[in-house]
Structure 1
C-alpha cells in the first residue's frame, strides 16, 4: 500500500542522507527535494487506502505514486552500493575514483531519472489537490509521528487461548464424541465466517478429557484448493510419519496401519468442497473396530451432510450474548490490565462498538485489538467508533468491516509487515522467524536509538498478534510464539488489496517460491524485492532448473528464501552468479538440498544482514569470506551435522545479534575460530554453542561470555560425546555466563551433576530454564540457592533425563515464581504433582497454569 511504501522509503532516504556517503551526497539536492515532497504527502497518504476505495481516480494516482517511489528506492539502493564500493578503494586511490570515466553514465542517468521522478511526484501532488480539493499539505506532526514508533504494546499482551461463551457447547460436543464405540461418528460444526467454528473445534481437540480418551488425534486444515494426498500427508504428520514419496494408496494404507486398534479423533477444519468422493475414499480406508470420531467445520451445511453428518449431530454456533460480547471485548481491549476497563468514560463508546459487531467473535476481537493499541482517550475511541460506522455503511458484514478498519488503523510499518501474509497459501502455518527475517531484510522494521533489529522485528510481530490479525499456532514451552497463521477472512482482505492493485497496473515486487512456479513469472518481474519459500508444513518445493537459473537476473532482490526447496543439482552451481545481486540482505538455504558449500560469489554481497543455513546436513565448511560480511546481523548454522568449524576472524562481525550453531576450534587448530573471538561480539543477544571436547575452551577463555552484555538467550549443546565427556564437563563448569541471562538451555550434558554456575546467585535474572537429554542425575547443591536467594524462574522444562532424581518439594521451594512446567520422560523424579500435571505415557505436563 502506498503509505507503507512511502513510509519505508522516507526512512531509508533520511538515513542515507545522514550517512553523507559520496555518491548520495552528489545527488543530495534531488534526494532532499524528494524527501520533502513525500513528507508533505504522508499525512494524506495515511488515509489514502480509505479514500481510494471511494474514488477510482485516487486509486490510480496512488498506484502511480507507489511505482515511482519503488523506482526511487532502487536508485537510492544503487547509489549506496556505489558508495560501499568507494569505501573499499584504498584511500590513496579515492581521488582517482572520484573522476573515473566509468562513473559518468551512471551519474548522468541517475541525475536525469531523479529529476523526472521529482517532477512526476510534484504533478501527482497537484492532481491530488485538484481531485480532492486539498490545498495545503502539512508534514506529519509529533502526534502523527507514531507511525514511526513501535506499537504501544511492543510485547505480546493478549492471550489468544482465552475464549468466552463456549463452555456449554464444548461439553455438548464432548458428550457426542464419547458416545462413539465403533464405526466412525461424524460431527459437524456449521456456521458463517467469523462465528468461531475453528475455535470451538480447538476447544474440543485440546480438552484434557478428550486428549485422554483418544489414543490418536489429527488436525487437518482443509484449504479450498486441497488434494487428497495433502490431506493424508497432514494426517500422517500427526501420526509421526513424514510420508515423503508415497502415492495415494500407500498413504492410506499407512494411516490404516497406524490407527489399527486405536481410538482416534480427526478434525477436518474449514471444508468447502461439496463433492465428497475424496472423503469417502479416505473414510473407507480407516479402521472402524475400536471407534473413531471426525469433526467437520464448514460454512456449508450440505458439505457436512455429504461427509456423513446427520442433522442430529450438526452443531450450529450461536452469536455471542450481549454480556459475552462485552466480556470478550474487555479481555482484548484491556488485556494489559487483566480485562478490566478502568475508564468509565470509555465504557459507553466500547459498548457502542461491540453492538455493531453483531455477536461475531472475530469482529469483536479485531476491534478490541485496535483499542488495545490505542491510548485510552475518549476522542480517540470516538473517532474509531465513527470510522467503524462508516465502514459498516459501505459493507454490512461486520467481520469484514472490522478487519478493514483494523488494517486502516495500522501504523505504516505494520502495514508493510502485515501485507507479507498475502504471499502464503490458505491455512499455511508460518514461522515467526521467517517473517521477522523477511521484514528485517526489506527494511520494514523501524529501528531507533541503536535498538537491536531482531528486537524491533519481534515488536512488529507482537503488534500484529495484539491486534488479533495474526493467530497463534504453536508456542515454545516458555510461552514464546513459534508459528502462526491468519484467518481465511483476514487473508481475503489482503488478497483483495493485492489483486485490486495489480488489476490497476501495479507491478509485482514479491513472489512466493513454489514447485509450480513458472519461470516466466521471474522473467516478467525482474524488479522483484523478495522471492520467498511459501511451502506448507512438511512439504518441500521441487524447483525446476529453468526457474533457479533466473534468480540472478532479479538484480533488485533483497530477500531470497530457498528454504525447504529441493534442486536437481548442487546449489552452489546454480547460484554461481548470486554475487550480482548486490542488494541482497537476507538469504536462507535452510533445509535446502543439496547444499554442500556456499556459492563463492556470495563474498560480493556486502549488504548481507541475515544468512541462514540451518538444517543443511551436507554443509561441511564455512568459507573464510564469511568474516568479511560486516553487516551480518544473524548467522544461523544450527543443525548442520557435517560442519566441523568456523573460519578464524568471526570476531570482526561486530553487528551480530544472533549466532546459532557455533562450533569453536580446538586449541591446536590455530587457523580456525576459537571461542575467544566471541568477546568482540558486543551486540550478541542469542548464542548457541555446540561443544564436543574440553580443549575447545581454553583456560583463558572461560570468562569470554561475561563480555557479552547484551546476551539474553544461551544454549549449550554437547554433541557426539564419547571418551571426552569428563574433560568437557570440567571446562563447562568453569564457564561464566553473564548475569543478565534471560533463558538458558542445556542439551546432552554428559555430567552427572548440573554445572556449578547454574544457580540463582550467578544467574539472578534467569526466567526460563530447559535441560534436555544427557547423563544428569542430581542438581549441584548450589542449584537450590539459599533462603535469601531463590530462583526467579517462571518456566522450567526437563526432558528425557532418565537418571535425574529430585523431589518436587525442592523445586517448589527454590522456584516460588514457577508458573509453566513441562516434564517429559524423567521417570525417577519424585513427588511431582501428578494431579496437576496429569500423567500420560511417562509425561508430566502443565502449561500456562499457576501451580
Structure 2
C-alpha cells in the first residue's frame, strides 16, 4: 500500500503548503523537494507494489519507503501543531514533542534534509530495479486520480441471479416440517453463494408467514457457545447480559416454546460440535421447526444432524447466468445492457475465468463498473486477471487480489481499514467514513465537502462488491455493511504485510480495542494512528486500566473510537488523558456509560474534526469550549436525552458539515445556542433538530435554514413536545429549496406544514414521516396541473390517524420507486391489505406488493 501512503501524504502536504503557516513556510523548500521526489515516484509505484509480492528485495525497499513517508507525515503534523501553538491567539502548548536542547527548527530542518536524501536514493533504487527512467520525467499530479461522485450505490446489492432452483428446493423442504427439528445443509466451496441462498429464503415474505420466529446466527471461526446464545437472544429481541450459558439457553427455550421457528447457522467451520449438541438439546422440538446450516464441510453438516437427503450442494452458475450477473454489475448504469459491442468478447473472456463462482464474478464486475468502457483498459484488466490466476488458481482469491490492485490509491487505505473488524462484524458506514476523514484518507478536491467525499469512498467500495449490505434505508442507501470471509482473509493478509494492522505486534499503526493484544498486552506505541472499538452488534468492549493508561502515550493518534465500551477506570479520568493527544482529529465516545460530562482537558484538541457523543443518555451538557474547535466538521449529540441545549456560539463553527441532535435554547436559557445561529453554518449538509416548545423558534428565526445552500438532509423530531404554539412555528419554519431528504418524526399537527409542497421543495427525493398526529396533507402538498413531486422514496410509519388515499399520493408522485408503510391503518387503498398490523413495501419498478 506504499502508493496509497504516498498519495495520502501528498494530499496532506499540498494542503499544508497552501495554509502558509509559519513553520511550514520556514521549511517550504525541503517540503517542496520532498513533494517533487514523491510525485516523480508515483508513476511507477503501482507496478512496484504488484511486483513486491514476488521479490523480497523490492519488498524491503518498499517497506523502507513506507516508513519514511510515515515519519515525514509526523514531522508535517508537528510543524502544523507548532505553528498553531506559536499563534498568539492560541492557548495550546506543544506537549507531544520530546523535550530537547536542540531548537525545533534546527532539528526538523536536519531531519528533512536527511529524509530527502534517503528518499531520492530509494527512488533511484526502485526505478533501476524496474528498469524505469525517471530523470526529467514530469511529476504526477495526485489530483489526476479523480474520485467519481457516487450519489448512491449504482446497482441493487440484493439482486441475485440463477438461484431460483436453489431457493425453490429449500422452500419445499422447509414446508415439510418434522416431529423433531428438520435440519437442512447448504454445502459448498467458498464464494459459491451459500449464504446468499440462505438469505434469499430467510427474507422471503412466504417464510415470514410460515415461521413464527426466525433467527439468523453468523458463526465465525473464533466463537464461544455463549456468543452464539447471545446472538440468538438478540434475534429474539432480548439483549440479556450477565447470565450463564445455561440460563441463556433456558430463555431461548421459553421464547421458542410452542412456536414454529427457523434457525439459520451460517458459515459453520468447527468440527468439534460440542457447543451445537448443547444448544440443539435445549431447543423445543416439533411444530414444524427447521434449521439451515451453511458450511464448506459435509462432515460438519452431518454432525449437525443433516441427513444426506437434505443436503443441498449449490452448483456454479451457468455460462449464461454468469454473463448475466456480470452485466448487471459492470453495466449497472445502463441497467445491465452492454452498449459497447467491442467489450462483449473481452467481458466474456473475463467471466469465463471466474468459473461460475458468484463472488468472483461480482468482484470483477465491480472492477469494470468503475473503469471507463474502453477496449484497451478492459483488455489490460483481462491480462492482469490472467496473471493473477497463474499465481493463484483460486478464481475467487485471484479476482479479489485483482480488485485490490485496481483500486485507486485513496481507496486502498480505506479498504485496509476493514482488517480491524472481526469476522461477521456489522460495520456502520458512519464509523468507517469518520475514521477515513480523521486519518486523512479522504482526498477533498474542487471545494467538495469532506463528509460527502468520504461517503463516495464508501460507495466506491460497495460498488466494487468489497463490502456486503447488512442494513439499508427505506430508499436503498447502505447504513451497515460487513465483509465476506474471503475478502477479510485477503485484507487481513495485506494489512499484516504492510504493517497497517498487526494483531500480535506492538508496532501496529491501527488497532482494534477488542483484540486480545489490546485487552491484555497493550504497551505504549508511538506509531499508533487509530484505536477503534469494533465490537459485534449488541456487544460491548471491556477496556482495562492497562489499556486506558497506555494508549494515551500514542502521541500521533489521529482517530480514537471508544464507542460501546465499559471501562475499569472512571471514564472522565480517561478522557482527561485524551486531552494530551493534540493530533487527534476523530473522537467517539458514543454509547459509553455513565459519561456525565466532557472534561476541561479536551479543550486542547484544536485539530478535532469529528466529535461523536451520541447515545450518551447521562451526558448533561456540552462544554462551552466546543465552539472554539474551528476545524470541527461533524458534531453528533443525537439521542442524548439529558442535554437541554447546546452552548451559545455554535454558529462560529464555520466548517461544520453534519450537526445531529441539535436542541435549541429556550427563551429562559441565555447561555444556550438559539436556532438563529444555524444560519451561519453555510457548509452544513446534514441537520437533525430536536424541538419541544414553540419558544425555541423566535418569530425572527423562522427563516434560519432558508439560506443554507449546502443543506441536503434534514430531520425534525418533536418527541415529547409541549404546547400548541409549536405547530404554528413549524408551519412557518421553511427549509431550503434544494433539500433532498426530509424526515418528520412525532409531528404534532393534524395537517402537514404549509411548506411541505412540491413548489417549496422542488428537489426533494426522499420523504419520511413517522409517528405523531398527522391526519391530512395541506392543500399545497398535491401540487397543481404543472407541478408534481420528484420524490423517489417515501416512508410512512406509525401514523394511526393518516387518512389520505394512496392512489392520490401516487398520482402526484410520478417518480416514486419504493414505499415503506407500517402501522397506517387509515391509509386508503394501499396494495397491502393488512398494512395496519404488519406493514408493506411497494416497489413501482417490480410492480409487486
Q: TM-score, normalised by structure 1?
A: 0.95
**Aligned mates of 2:154, 2:225 — CA distance in 1:** 39
Matched, 1:115 2:113: yes
What is the match of residue 590 of structure 2? 590
**Aligned mates of 1:684, 1:123 — CA distance in 2:** 46
Moved more, 249-258 or 771-780: 771-780
- Pairing 1:46-445 to 2, within 5 Å after superposition: 46-89=46-89, 105-136=103-134, 148-151=145-148, 155-445=152-442
**1:370-396 deviations in Å (ceiling 9; x for gaps):** 111111111111111111111111111
Give 1:103 shift.
9.5
**Aligned mates of 1:203, 1:141 — CA distance in 2:** 50
Give 1:831 shift.
1.6
Give 1:850 shift.
4.5
Matched, 1:845 2:841: yes
Moved more, 475-484 or 133-142: 133-142
8 A contact 1:43–1:138 mirrored in 2:
no
8 A contact 2:525–2:551 mirrored in 1:
no
8 A contact 2:474–2:820 mirrored in 1:
yes
What is the match of residue 94 of structure 1? none
Partner SS for 2:161: coil
Give 1:517 shift.
4.5
**Aligned mates of 2:349, 2:35 — CA distance in 1:** 41
Give 1:688 shift.
0.6
Aligned length: 837
**Aligned mates of 2:470, 2:146 — CA distance in 1:** 27
**1:719-743 deviations in Å (ceiling 9; x for gaps):** 322xx33011111111111111111
**Structure 1: which 5+ runs fail to align?**
92-100
**1:137-159 deviations in Å (ceiling 9; x for gaps):** 676777x8576310375641021
What is the match of residue 564 of structure 2? 564
What is the match of residue 467 of structure 1? 464
**Aligned mates of 1:825, 1:220 — CA distance in 2:** 28
- Pairing 1:318-717 to 2, within 5 Å after superposition: 318-502=315-499, 507-514=507-514, 516-518=516-518, 522-717=522-717
**Structure 2: which 5+ runs fail to align?**
92-98
**Aligned mates of 2:208, 2:803 — CA distance in 1:** 28
8 A contact 1:519–1:550 mirrored in 2:
no
8 A contact 2:665–2:675 mirrored in 1:
yes
**Aligned mates of 2:737, 2:498 — CA distance in 1:** 51
Decide whether aligned partners of structure 1 residues 806 and 140 sit closer, same or farther in structure 2, where only a CA change above 3 A counts: farther
Decide whether aligned partners of structure 1 residues 212 and 103 sit closer, same or farther in structure 2, where only a CA change above 3 A counts: farther
Q: CA RMSD in A?
A: 2.0
**Aligned mates of 2:323, 2:521 — CA distance in 1:** 48
Decide whether aligned partners of structure 1 residues 644 and 550 sit closer, same or farther in structure 2, where only a CA change above 3 A counts: same
What is the match of residue 755 of structure 1? 753
**1:470-512 deviations in Å (ceiling 9; x for gaps):** 1111101121100001111111111111233459999411000
Decide whether aligned partners of structure 1 residues 154 and 678 sit closer, same or farther in structure 2, where only a CA change above 3 A counts: closer
Partner SS for 2:743: strand
Partner SS for 2:576: coil
**Aligned mates of 1:117, 1:90 — CA distance in 2:** 30
**Aligned mates of 2:144, 2:408 — CA distance in 1:** 5
Moved more, 512-521 or 439-448: 512-521
**1:560-610 deviations in Å (ceiling 9; x for gaps):** 100111113432222212222111100001101221101211111111000
Decide whether aligned partners of structure 1 residues 104 and 680 sit closer, same or farther in structure 2, where only a CA change above 3 A counts: farther
Partner SS for 1:76: helix
**1:423-448 deviations in Å (ceiling 9; x for gaps):** 10011110001000000101100111
Partner SS for 2:103: helix
**Could you tell me which of 804, 827, 830 is aligned with 1:806?**
804
**Aligned mates of 1:139, 1:396 — CA distance in 2:** 38
**Aligned mates of 1:754, 1:673 — CA distance in 2:** 27
Give 1:102 shift.
9.2
Moved more, 151-160 or 779-788: 151-160
Partner SS for 2:87: helix
Decide whether aligned partners of structure 1 residues 349 and 238 sit closer, same or farther in structure 2, where only a CA change above 3 A counts: same
8 A contact 2:522–2:546 mirrored in 1:
no
Give 1:290 shift.
1.3
**Aligned mates of 2:524, 2:56 — CA distance in 1:** 26
Decide whether aligned partners of structure 1 residues 50 and 756 sit closer, same or farther in structure 2, where only a CA change above 3 A counts: same
Give 1:10 shift.
1.0
What is the match of residue 35 of structure 1? 35
8 A contact 1:515–1:543 mirrored in 2:
no
8 A contact 2:351–2:361 mirrored in 1:
yes
Give 1:111 shift.
1.4
Partner SS for 2:795: strand
Decide whether aligned partners of structure 1 residues 76 and 141 sit closer, same or farther in structure 2, where only a CA change above 3 A counts: closer
Give 1:757 shift.
1.4
Decide whether aligned partners of structure 1 residues 606 and 344 sit closer, same or farther in structure 2, where only a CA change above 3 A counts: same
Partner SS for 1:834: coil
**Aligned mates of 1:69, 1:339 — CA distance in 2:** 42
What is the match of residue 95 of structure 1? none
Partner SS for 2:474: coil
Give 1:250 shift.
1.4
Give 1:520 shift.
7.0
**Aligned mates of 1:728, 1:198 — CA distance in 2:** 49
**Aligned mates of 1:152, 1:410 — CA distance in 2:** 16
8 A contact 1:146–1:411 mirrored in 2:
no
What is the match of residue 772 of structure 2? 774
Moved more, 17-26 or 59-68: 17-26
**Aligned mates of 2:668, 2:136 — CA distance in 1:** 65
Moved more, 50-59 or 237-246: 237-246
**1:789-826 deviations in Å (ceiling 9; x for gaps):** 22211111111112222221221222222221111112
**Aligned mates of 2:844, 2:276 — CA distance in 1:** 37
**Aligned mates of 2:205, 2:370 — CA distance in 1:** 34
8 A contact 1:147–1:413 mirrored in 2:
no
Give 1:116 shift.
2.0
8 A contact 1:252–1:282 mirrored in 2:
yes
**1:192-249 deviations in Å (ceiling 9; x for gaps):** 1111111111111112211211111111111000111111111111111111222211
What is the match of residue 7 of structure 2? 7
**Aligned mates of 2:647, 2:431 — CA distance in 1:** 26
8 A contact 2:822–2:835 mirrored in 1:
no
Q: TM-score, normalised by structure 2?
A: 0.96
**Aligned mates of 1:345, 1:626 — CA distance in 2:** 58
**Aligned mates of 1:283, 1:499 — CA distance in 2:** 38
